[in-house]
A and B are shown apart, each in its own frame.
Chain A
Amino acid sequence: MILRVIAESVLGLYPDAWRQRYGEEVADLVASRPVRVRTVLDLIAGAADAWLHHRRIPGRRPFRIPAAAVLYALGAALWLLWNPGVRDPQSLHRVWAEATRMGALAHTLEGMATSLFVTAGVMGALAAAPVVLAASSAMGGPGQGLVTRVTSRQVVRTAVAVAVPIVLLGYLYYATAFAGDREPLGDAMTGGYLIPPVLALSLPVIAVAAQASPPASEVRTGATVLAVAAIINTLAWLPVTALMLPGLAQASWTFAAAVTTSAAVGICMAGLAARLALRHGRAAMSRLTPA
């Protein structure tokens, strides 16, 4: 009896596509035959085999890691890199000391990086604004269909939900880069850690809005703004790189590795958010085009 229950629960270890294809048949076999320890071990080995060879499952869909999971992982990576990157005063001080040999150019580069990150952040935060405005006017519109009104409500709710963390990130950016007494190089880099999550947070609003046809042009506009913000976020790392290069030899290897990895992760995160937004924009527009 216990072995039968275990055997049935082992079926849950198989890939979804396998369970959809063979799950019922195997569950029936398990229910109608004696179950031994050997049966359970055989099913466990079968589950491992099905995962290892999931490409062989008839009718399977291509295996894809959900984009949201990738964005979460990249966001988590940025937070983990924050301390070894922005909060290593010794390395920041040494690298900045070398950068100041460039004279006023160092401060210009620092200001340029900060301005670009701030611009990217503001654009990212406001990317969803046209969509939210269109959705809020469609919510109460008597001429709108039920689907549009429901989707519009979801858009507004999603916008309210993401607005809170976006505001918190904005405050954190202000508190770390502008309000405190910090290293100028650290201030220049801070945006690289905080702006990509802002861009990623705007994405759900565009994704939800893309499900309804009426705000299609606003969805495309929002996606384009997000894409431009991602490009600016990438460009912002150029002055940071210029500031870092002269004094890189003076910094600890953990600092150099953390900043390099952070730049790559931040650029990837912003790029992925923009790419997904553009895809939603294209999908929304294609719904408007008659087949």
Chain B
Amino acid sequence: MARKTSELGRFTDVALLVLISLAEGQKHGYRMIHDIAEFSGTALEPGTLYGALMRLEERGWIEPVETAERRKPYRITESGRDALREQLATLRRIEQAGARRAAISWGLS
């Protein structure tokens, strides 16, 4: 996963936020920005969001949903879900290691 996400460059964190946002259902750009701001406190701008969407779509982790509406929704694909699971597992390991080491150095254990 680290190898796969390293290719996302500065969009790695934004891509994770987008995948989390789409994990509960399809959304268009406007709703994604609001949703991400709500659950993470990150205020994304359009240029950054669409830079991440371009990369996620290119690697097949998300796909556009055909619609007649002006705003095009995106949904997460199966490989996108797998990538999200892997990345969340990595974050959990990091969080556990961080908590353990912080507890030792602060004398909380």
Contact = CB atoms under 8 A, between A and B. Distances in A.
A46 B33 contact: no
A53 B29 CA distance: 21
Interface stretch (B18-26, B50-58, B84-92): B50-58
**For chain B, what secondary structure do more than half of its interface residues adopt (helix, strand, loop), or is it mixed?**
helix
B105 to A, nearest CB: 37
Interface in A1-52: 18, 21-22, 24-26, 28-30, 32-33, 38-39, 42-47, 49-50
A30 B46 contact: yes
Interface of B: 28-30, 33, 45-51, 53-55, 57-58, 70-72
A56 interface: yes
A203 B54 CA distance: 39
Contact of A28 (B48, B58, B71): B71
Contacts of A22: 50, 53-54
Interface residues of A, number: 25
**For chain A, what secondary structure do more than half of its interface residues adopt (helix, strand, loop), or is it mixed?**
helix
A58 interface: yes
Contacts of A50: 51, 54
A57 interface: yes
B29 A25 contact: yes
B67 to A, nearest CB: 11
B45 A39 contact: yes
B13 to A, nearest CB: 15
